[in-house]
Amino acid sequence: MRAFALAAVLVSFAAVAACSKVQPRLIDPVRSRGELRVVTLNLPTCYYLGAQGTEGLEFDLASAFAAHEGVKLNMYPVANEGAMQAELAAGRADIAACSLTDNPDWHRAGDAAEPYSLIPQLVVYQRSGVRPRDTLQLESARLAVRAGSPQERILQRLKSTVAPGLQWEETAPSSADPVEDVDGGEAQYAITDAREYSFAHHLYPNVLVGFELPQRRPVQWIVRKGTPGLLASVNAFFHELAASGRLPQLVQESSGDTRRFEYEESREFQGHVGDRLPMYRSWFEQAALQTGIDWRLLAAIGYQESKWDPRAESEDGASGIMMLTSDTAQAMGIKNRNDAEQSIFAGARYLEQVREMIPDRIPEPDRTWLTIAAYNVGFGHLEDARIITQAQGKDPDSWTDVRVRLPLLAQQRWADRAKRGYARGWEPVQFVDRIQRFLTLLEWQPGEASAHAEPATAAPGANAAPAAAAPGAAPAPPPDEQAAKVAGTHPAPRP
């Protein structure tokens, strides 16, 4: 889905740009090397490696900008803001992009582009504590803020203007999350970006918003000095993207609130991340190396199936961390489904087998979500839903389209026409939704982004027009041929 969102950005941006009379272009050094170098930080608000590839608002914006300028994108993370400034000052990076706010420390390294967004600044508190409602209430409280952050500068201005008694505790190191301090009881309140909170409240569900500070924080890109053409191009890019209406939409789509917040579920999940996942993580990682499937995706499936409990059992006889049936366990060559190591490796191999049944012409992330749906309901039933999807004039290779048709398999008039008959088609939809939620929570874990840090590159125009099927791929075969791809007449066994 993120690929389609980025494609929409590029299409709408191109339409607006075509109407502009003057198009500033990149300076010669960038254009001559054919590469735009963007330095960033590994943060869920900006840039991180998800199970489906590189994600984050700044990555999406940088990809769109590079594609518009016709150059390759080389985006890479560094350790901290000081390292970003060093990259820019040395000329190794052309742009620094990470929800930045201009300040004197940046003046030595580059020139600030015009702000593209204003982020609300929130005062947060622990659910069991007293809710703060105004700035003066913070003067007598234990207040946490990230050292050297824009939020600390906002507090300094408030102290000098309306709240002279304001005091706060700096988190250390500078990458520490003050929201975590509130969750752990080390601070009563913390100041955080609304965008950061949209991710953090899934990880710390006991932390709530008290009120919004009166001053919002501007965010912008910093362009290396001596490149006025590049600065002009960046400003024009954001002006046109805002005029198209896609900029605020993209900001919202890339926030942590694109998935519904479930308080009890998130609280329980975070508890299990701390007390259960460490016992099994190395096996998930080893299984990932064997199958090429991201370990966090395997772990998300394991959590959905059993909450990482090797003794878990279902009413239909499945058991173990990956909830394998006796037939699947036998087919995977394991003897003890309640042995966590055996269950994880067998579940990963089974998922790999299911994935091989899904046409490889289907792009990501659709192929992964279709695979997981088939893992849950059986490949045959998924094929029936894809056939119905095609019959209704929609794309059988699109998870968005197929997920709408899967529940039809529970209706008699559709079940009678489906080769594999009735299925509880709403279950794989719910299964995939929950896997996506747990996967995202794993991707957002503190320190997880840096553990998977690596540069992201994109060829000119590579992100310009992702489609539901690979270019030149043949259309889905007619129903009889679709059905012929299924081995036997029964749905694949539930794992």
In the predicted model, is pLDDT for residue 413 greater than 80? no
CATH topology (fold) of 121-215 = D-Maltodextrin-Binding Protein; domain 2 (3.40.190)
In the predicted model, is pLDDT for residue 8 greater than 90? no
Rounded to an integer, the average pLDDT of 387-414 is 91
DSSP 26: -
> What pLDDT score does 359 carry?
93
Domains 2-116+219-258 and 121-215 share a fold: yes
Q: Tell me if residue 302 falls in helix, strand or coil.
A: helix
Nearest to residue 468, comparing CAs of 404, 394, 409? 394
**What would be the CATH architecture of the domain defined by 2-116+219-258?**
3-Layer(aba) Sandwich (3.40)
Q: Tell me if residue 357 falls in helix, strand or coil.
A: helix
H helices, E strands: number in the chain? 22, 14
Q: Rounded to whole angstroms, how far apart are CA atoms 133 and 125?
A: 11
Task: Identify whether 114 is a catalytic site residue.
Answer: no
> What pLDDT score does 79 carry?
87
Q: Tell me if residue 208 falls in helix, strand or coil.
A: strand
> What pLDDT score does 20 carry?
44
In the predicted model, is pLDDT for residue 464 greater than 50? no
Per the document, the length of the chain is 495
> What pLDDT score does 368 carry?
95
Q: Rounded to whole angstroms, how far apart are CA atoms 386 and 5?
A: 23
Q: Between residues 494 and 313, which one has the greater pLDDT?
A: 313
> What pLDDT score does 202 carry?
73
Q: How far is CA 211 from CA 135, 225, 251, in A?
A: 9, 38, 21
472 Cβ contact partners less than 8 Å away, ≥ 6 residues apart: none
Share of the chain above pLDDT 70, in %: 81
Q: Tell me if residue 429 falls in helix, strand or coil.
A: helix
> What pLDDT score does 448 carry?
64
Q: How many CB atoms lie within 10 A of CB 478?
A: 12
Q: What are phi and psi of 424, to 5 degrees?
A: -80, 75
Q: What is the pLDDT of residues 197-249, one digit of tens each?
A: 887 777 788 999 999 998 899 999 999 999 999 999 999 999 999 999 889 88
Q: What is the pLDDT of residues 250-306, one digit of tens each?
A: 888 777 665 555 677 888 898 899 999 999 999 999 999 999 999 999 999 999 999
Q: Which of 305, 356, 364, 443 is catalytic?
A: 305
Q: What is the pLDDT of residues 180-190, one digit of tens each?
A: 889 889 999 99
Q: How far is CA 310 from CA 63, 278, 280, in A?
A: 42, 14, 10
> What pLDDT score does 10 carry?
53
218 Cβ contact partners less than 8 Å away, ≥ 6 residues apart: 101, 102, 115, 117, 118, 119
Q: Rounded to whole angstroms, how far apart are CA atoms 217 and 207?
A: 21
In the predicted model, is pLDDT for residue 418 greater than 60? yes
> What pLDDT score does 166 carry?
87
- Which pair of tokens denotes residue 48? 């991180």
- Which pair of tokens denotes residue 439? 């996967």
- Encoded amino acid at 325, one letter: T
3-state helix, strand, coil in the chain (%, to 5): 50, 15, 35
Q: Distance of alpha carbon 167 from its chain centroid, rounded?
A: 35
Q: Rounded to whole angstroms, how far apart are CA atoms 218 and 100?
A: 8
Could you tell me the sign of the dihedral formed by the alpha carbons of 69, 71, 77, 78, in that order? negative
In the predicted model, is pLDDT for residue 14 greater than 70? no
Q: Rounded to whole angstroms, how far apart are CA atoms 86 and 93?
A: 9
Could you tell me the sign of the dihedral formed by the alpha carbons of 319, 323, 325, 326, in that order? negative
Q: Distance of alpha carbon 419 from its chain centroid, rounded?
A: 36
Rounded to an integer, the average pLDDT of 93-107 is 95
CB 125 within 8 A of CB 208: yes
Q: How many CB atoms lie within 10 A of CB 302?
A: 30
Q: Between residues 450 and 303, which one has the greater pLDDT?
A: 303
CB 474 within 8 A of CB 386: no
In the predicted model, is pLDDT for residue 45 greater than 60? yes
In the predicted model, is pLDDT for residue 465 greater than 70? no
Q: What is the pLDDT of residues 26-41, one digit of tens each?
A: 456 788 889 999 999 9
Domain boundary assignment for the chain: 2-116+219-258, 121-215, 264-448+471-484
Q: Is the pTM of this model over 0.75?
A: no
Output the CATH code of domain 264-448+471-484.
Answer: 1.10.530.10
Torsion of CA 234, 240, 241, 245, to 10 degrees: 160
